[in-house]
Amino acid sequence: MAKNKFNKNWVHDHINDPYVKLAQKEGYRARAAYKLKEIDEAEKLIKPGQVIVDLGCTPGSWGQYTRRKLAGGDEGGIKGTMIGLDMLPMEPIADMQFIQGDFREQGVLDELAGILEGRMADLVLSDMAPNLSGIASADAARMEDLIDLAIEFSQVHLKPSGALLVKCFKDMGFTQILEKFRSEFKVVKQIKPKASRDKSSEIFLMGRGLKNPAQ
């Protein structure tokens, strides 16, 4: 009974969510686009000409927003390079090169290297979150593991002056994650966009300038 009530409340909140309505109106696949939009407008992360890698990109709303920011290339294309990686399939986004697979696997990294052709990323985005078990310690460990992967990926593929933006949660090992960010990046910011639901402990961490880029 309680679960049904929760589901009904969630559906009611979702249907009446202004960002859900705006996403439908503006053609975004998810309301998450507005979280990235707000952060980007404040931090000036996305600029034409950049190489941008989107980890855990499905369903693609961050990719859609990024594409709009890079639009204006030859013949209606983009100025820059967009690469999305996810274990789940994704409906194509124009001008975004999508790799389906686990970026911990060598075959996926080889495919990424082929697209990059020796270039480094200006920006790495990660909206990834673990499948939750409801066991706080296990969920915190899973979240920390995902952030570790994003940091390790950035150490290899991000320009020394580049930026990494990740989603995390205040109630999932956040203190340890923040410490890791501070040990790896010169500038670290915590950002809670308005589009992030008040009830959610969701928060975004942005790191700029790698302290120890891979040689």
State the Rg of the chain over Cα.
Answer: 17
127 is in an annotated binding site: yes
60 is in an annotated binding site: yes
102 is in an annotated binding site: yes
86 is in an annotated binding site: yes
Q: In this structure, how many other beta carbons lie within 10 angstroms of the beta carbon of residue 207? A: 25
Catalytic, out of 35, 69, 167, 180:
167
74 is in an annotated binding site: no
Please tell me the distance from the alpha carbon of residue 40 to that of residue 42, in angstroms, as a whole number: 5
Question: Would you say 86 and 56 are in contact if contact means Cβ atoms under 8 Å apart?
Answer: yes
The residues that bridge with 189 in the sheet, in sequence order, are: 206
192 is catalytic: no
The three state secondary structure string of 127-140 is CCCCCCCCCHHHHH
Q: List the binding residues.
A: 60, 62, 86, 102, 127
Query: Which residues are the active-site residues?
Result: 167
Give the residue ranges of the annotated binding site for S-adenosyl-L-methionine: 60, 62, 86, 102, 127
